[in-house]
Structures are given as C-alpha cells and as structure tokens.
Structure 1
C-alpha cells in the first residue's frame, strides 16, 4: 500500500504531487530544489552548493517522518543545469551521506523549476 509523506518543515509541493511516498519498505521523494526555509518562494542564496545543502536538509525532514535518515537512502538522481557543478555537489553529497554512499545518477538538464541549478530525488529503504 502507498502512503503520502508530508513533513511540516518541508515546502509544499509546487504542483499536484506528494512531497514523498512510501510503498512497503521503500521511500520515494519528489524532486526537490533548494527552496529557502523562511521563504519557500525563493531559492537559498549561495549557488549550487547551498542549494544542494538545503535539499539534503529537506531530505532529512522527509525521512524523519518515516523514522529513517540519510543513511537509508539507496539511490539519488541529481539534475544539474551545468555539469561543471558536479564536483562541488559530489563533495556535499559525500559529506552528507557518508560511506557507503547511495547509488547516483547525474543528468544535465536545460532548466529546472524556480531557475534552480540543482534538483534531486531519492529512493530509500527501511
């Protein structure tokens, strides 16, 4: 059975979708951009590294709702508007997710919601 995840400290979805869902032991996040915690109508300042940090914070909040943590993340998809951001984002993800890190796919895209530089989603397992 599938259940929606709705975390109080996570910005509302930009469309008609859940912040995340669970299906059995699996947890799925919606794609997240680095929306500011105080004003979710804007992105955090600081470029792709700050956006990546904020997305990881959002992931932590979603995972806390289902009694999990970043260590339970099995796979991440990273969407970048410029692959030149990949090394900086890799450093953040390596620090935030530890070893062994989740499987990762990185895709360069032409544009993201809110003119973000990075968007990510995850699949985790309890």
Structure 2
C-alpha cells in the first residue's frame, strides 16, 4: 500500500516534523489541528475557547477537503482540551459542524497544547471508493 501526503494552504502549515495528513488506501489520518489562522499562523484568540474551537473545525474541514472528502467522512475524532470545564461548549460547537450519526470520539483533558492553544483535534476519515 502506498501513502499520499495531503496538504492544504487553507489550514495551518505543520509546525513540526509531521504532515497535515496522510492518506493510506481509503483512510486519511489528519494530524492534530490547533486554532491557528492559516494566513498568519497565530492563534485566533488567546482566551476565547469558542473562537478557538470554531477555528479547529475550520482547519480540519480544509484538510478533509484537500483529501477529497469532508467533515462527514470523519469516522473518529480525538479532542484535547486544556480545561474540561469547556466540554459542553466543545460539544455544542461540534454539533454545528457535524450531523448525526456523529463520528466516534474521545475528549481528553491535557495540561498544555502547542502555542498555548486551549483546544486541539485530530481525526481519521474514510473516503468513499
């Protein structure tokens, strides 16, 4: 099986030794997206969790589209929050970007994220044959 590197200029460039996403067969593994504005590579807000969460989903959508899919093709989402007190807000915003049936998901509390982000999400999507 071969792998294909996926890149979108509409999502933040990788800030480390990784690719935005890798396609292997019909499966695409999307690296964690933090709430960076792809044009400036700066956080969309230092303190607004909702604004950061919206940007994370916009970045995920851009990478999905570059891979030839969309958010509805995501089968698994992992979310990382620096404050699990924001869990309900994350759920509410996620419901704005996804329709039922929702993907499988984990939400994990973490001590810190790159660039001081409050939220990060990574995903796996499966493209139709």
| Whole-angstrom distance in 2 between the partners of 1:115 and 1:8 | 22
Which residue number in structure 1 is paired with residue 32 of structure 2? 31
**Structure-1 separation of matches of 2:12 and 2:60:** 11
Q: Which residue of structure 2 aligns with residue 122 of structure 1?
A: 123
Task: Structure 1: state its 5+ residue gaps.
Answer: none
Aligned pairs, number: 125
Runs of 4+ in 1 over 4 A off after TM superposition: none
> What corresponds to 2:3 in structure 1?
2
* 2:50 paired residue number: 49
Superposition CA RMSD, Å: 1.1
How far residue 37 of structure 1 moved from its aligned partner, in angstroms, is 3.5
**In the TM superposition, what are the counterparts of 1:45-124 in structure 2 within 5 Å?**
45=45, 47-124=48-125
Unaligned runs of 5+ in 2: none
Secondary structure at the residue paired with 1:31? strand
User: Aligned to 2:68, what secondary structure does the other structure show?
Assistant: coil
CA deviation after TM superposition for structure 1 residue 71, in Å:
0.5
Give the Cα separation in 1 of the matches to 2:75 and 2:83.
Answer: 24
- The alignment's TM-score, normalised by the length of structure 1, stands at 0.94
